[in-house]
Amino acid sequence: MEAKLMLLPGDGIGPEVVAQAVRVLEAVAGKGGHTFSYAEGLLGGCSLDRYGASLTDETLADCQAAEAILMGAVGGPKWDDPGASDRPERGLLALRRGLKVFANLRPVRVHPELVEWSPVKPDRLRGVDILVIRELTGGLYFGWPKGREIKDGRERAVDTLEYYDYEIRRVVELAFRLARGRRGKVTSVDKANVLESSRLWRQITTEIGGLNPDVSLEHMLVDTASMRLVSAPAQIDVLVTENMFGDILTDEASVLAGSMGLLPSASLGAEGPGLYEPIHGSAPDIAGQGIANPVGTILSVAMLLRHSLGLESEADWVELAVDAALAANCRTVDLGGKLSTPQMTDEILARLE
């Protein structure tokens, strides 16, 4: 097949790990008889520096015309001014909005060879294979009104937690579809004992659960879920939740794997290109040293192949090659090894071939 892909290397270590992911894409293309073409744009701090905007209209249009987008992390201390009119993270939010992606998928799987790198006890990590699905378009990040004002001589800040029924329905329906191809269990996380938006979330999720009797459903309050993720994570299959809860819980779940450098993500909509990126940050402290872990970005390539291009076998190739490299004790410095970013990719490519 032929596919046009958009690259947004981003800031910090982003260009380093995205470059290695492209090497994997090219190896997959050669092995599978595919042709991938690439366009490249700026997003985040690098775009602010060049264009004065974290995301330009031209870059967004190029992304909308692609079949999938692979990106690195954005941001860093250079642009870390909360009062700035534009910040790298705003570009990412605008990109998600422009692509109409509403679900962020973060798989968390514990490699047996890396159990010692997790702060969680090894006996809790056996069989951990979780897919966290975070809603991306609603909640506190986008609700209105928001802002600050002086009221009765006091400064007051307001954020609004807002959800429409369709926003909840589409992400929960996706969770049930994906659970059907896994272990057949959905854990819906809310705060229905306090929040009206969570009561609507639970109501709609219960309705969808009734229409999908082949998939088991459990409701869990977010405080309980935060404990369950570290005390009994193997009990969770697909976890679906709203925007801010998902933002927090996915970072908590990442420690199970031992390093944030290992974990991929995908942001998907009902149609149009998907957005793929590792979950780690831009790590400006190690940028340019060639020691960043490329695995999270390479596994994001596997998700791109599977979800946007429909290349299930090719996605399996990449994931099996990563597993084989880790099983052979191939490690970057974040996992106690000595391999550089390109060397780690070399080891994965050798096993892909």
Catalytic center residues: 141, 191, 223, 247, 251
Alpha helix ranges (H) inside the chain: 14-32, 45-51, 57-65, 88-99, 122-125, 165-180, 196-211, 222-231, 243-254, 295-307, 312-327, 341-352
Handedness of CA 279, 107, 296, 330 (dihedral sign): positive
How far apart CA 331 and CA 308 sit, in angstroms, is 29
Cα–chain center distance at 212:
26
Q: Are 17 and 49 in contact (CB under 8 A)?
A: no
Work out the widest C-alpha separation in the chain, in whole angstroms. 69
Q: Are 49 and 16 in contact (CB under 8 A)?
A: no
* Beta bridge partner(s), residue 275: 69, 267
